[in-house]
Amino acid sequence: MDKFRMIFQFFQSNQESFMNGICGIMALASTQMYSAFDFNCPCLPHYNMAYGLGILLVPPFILFLLGFVLNNNVSMLAEEWRRPQGQRGKDPAVLRYMFCSMAQRAMIAPAVWVSVTLLDGKCITCAFCTSVPVETLGNASHPLLSQGEIQRVLARIPCKEIYNGQELIANEVAVRYLRCISQALGWCFVLLMTTLAFLVRSLRPCFSQAAFLKSRYWSHYIDIERKLFDETCAEHARSFAKVCIQQFFESMSTDLVAAHCHLPRKTSEDAGEASKKLLGITDQGTMNMALKSWHRCKPPLHLHPPALPSGNGWAGEGQPPVHPSTPRRETAAYYSLV
């Protein structure tokens, strides 16, 4: 249990670790889904290819979309892309980095599904069984079958229990031929994905490391800023609800006193803390205006440092001047010689 707790804490440490954990879980889930899937080829000439390629391509597309749905940055990317310009510009490089990061993680589960499917070979066998070269592997000069009947016989190759074309081509030969092609495609796909991942990881820092660091930093900043804004809004909503409820019960104090019920009074410390958390926003219209203003014109990413006193006064305009020091008092003492 301690190991699982440590792994869970690692996944929760930051957004990237969390999403890597989600993608790993989805990759394992895709493998388990394929192993539990009951593959049944229709063994009909006009349906085998649609069924085989559908099983090969449709689930990866669903897993790809599911990877985007489970990624928390999708809404953040859409919000950053669609928000007005306001007081803060939108950096296209940051948006591209966020989209590419999500796409790379969402591609893990589909790549695992395609790899496992090709290495297993059932989909390729079902889809291309009618394309088996009978001239090379079987008896193409069978006198009793027309071209349409040959296609119907070849379409039954994946269904060993109903296959009746042993005189045309042996079922084991056709299945072995198609499975070898499928496994070759599967290993080529795995090699291609591994090579692309290696090139992206190793060569990207050699060309655009500074731009990559900048995009990654501001992507993390947008994520952290959104979380802090949500936490601040939740804290304000909690304080606002608390004050509203307290005011409601205070308005009912007359009835409670008449019923000989004494309401505990709110201390000044609690009142000061609640008013401090409200930050001066004490009505619905002002809060709605603040939320709209945050969406339309976010503050610029420029922090104004506090002005420091210089030798002759305060640095910067509009700052309070330095008050002159209090003049030193001088006391004169007179001594009499009398």
Sketch the domain layout of the chain as residue ranges: 1-209
Stronger pLDDT, 218 or 201, i.e. the higher one? 218
Residue 285, both tokens: 């219209």
Which pLDDT does position 185 carry in this prediction? 95
Which pLDDT does position 274 carry in this prediction? 67
The C-alpha atoms of residue 155 and residue 330 are separated, in whole angstroms, by: 116
Task: Average the pLDDT over 73-96 and give the result.
Answer: 85
Which pLDDT does position 254 carry in this prediction? 62
Task: Average the pLDDT over 227-232 and give the result.
Answer: 90
Question: What SS3 state is found at 304?
Answer: coil
The C-alpha atoms of residue 101 and residue 216 are separated, in whole angstroms, by: 10
Stronger pLDDT, 332 or 15, i.e. the higher one? 15
Stronger pLDDT, 298 or 270, i.e. the higher one? 298
The C-alpha atoms of residue 250 and residue 264 are separated, in whole angstroms, by: 10
Task: Average the pLDDT over 29-39 and give the result.
Answer: 83
Which pLDDT does position 220 carry in this prediction? 86
Which pLDDT does position 163 carry in this prediction? 86
**Cα 308 → chain centroid:** 43
- What pLDDT, in 10s, does the model give residues 158-187? 998 888 888 888 889 999 999 999 999 999
Which pLDDT does position 323 carry in this prediction? 47
State the sign of the Cα–Cα–Cα–Cα dihedral 196, 197, 203, 204.
positive
Whether residue 314 has pLDDT greater than 50: no
- CA 249-250-256 angle, 5° bins: 75
- What pLDDT, in 10s, does the model give residues 81-92? 888 888 888 888
Which pLDDT does position 19 carry in this prediction? 65
- Model confidence at 62, pLDDT cuts 50, 70, 90, reads very high
Residue 2, both tokens: 């301690």
Whether residue 326 has pLDDT greater than 60: no
In this predicted structure, which of 114-118, 144-148, 300-304 has the lowest mean pLDDT?
Answer: 144-148
- Ramachandran bin of 63, using left for φ above 0, alpha for ψ from -120 to 50, beta for the remaining angles: alpha
The C-alpha atoms of residue 105 and residue 284 are separated, in whole angstroms, by: 40
Residue 313 makes CB contacts below 8 A (sequence gap 6+) with: 321, 322
Q: Nearest Cα to 170, choosing from 144, 132, 122?
A: 132
Which pLDDT does position 179 carry in this prediction? 94
Residue 33, both tokens: 């889904």
Whether residue 283 has pLDDT greater than 60: yes
Residue-by-residue DSSP string for 130-156: GG--HHHHS-TT-TT--HHHHHHHHTT
Which pLDDT does position 197 carry in this prediction? 85
Stronger pLDDT, 241 or 274, i.e. the higher one? 241
Whether residue 335 has pLDDT greater than 50: no
How much helix, strand and coil, in percent to the nearest 5, is found in the chain?
A: 65, 0, 35
The C-alpha atoms of residue 21 and residue 127 are separated, in whole angstroms, by: 34
Task: Average the pLDDT over 110-126 and give the result.
Answer: 92
In this predicted structure, which of 40-49, 177-186, 208-217, 320-329 has the lowest mean pLDDT?
Answer: 320-329
The C-alpha atoms of residue 5 and residue 3 are separated, in whole angstroms, by: 5
In this predicted structure, which of 98-102, 125-129, 139-143, 176-180 has the lowest mean pLDDT?
Answer: 139-143
Task: Average the pLDDT over 203-209 and give the result.
Answer: 75
Percent of the chain scored above 70 by pLDDT?
75
Which pLDDT does position 115 carry in this prediction? 92
Q: Where are the beta strands (DSSP E) in the chain?
A: none
Question: What SS3 state is found at 264?
Answer: coil
Which pLDDT does position 32 carry in this prediction? 83
Which pLDDT does position 140 carry in this prediction? 63
The mean pLDDT value of the chain amounts to 79
Q: Find out whether 108 and 193 touch, Cβ atoms under 8 Å.
A: no
Whether residue 279 has pLDDT greater than 50: yes
Whether residue 230 has pLDDT greater than 50: yes
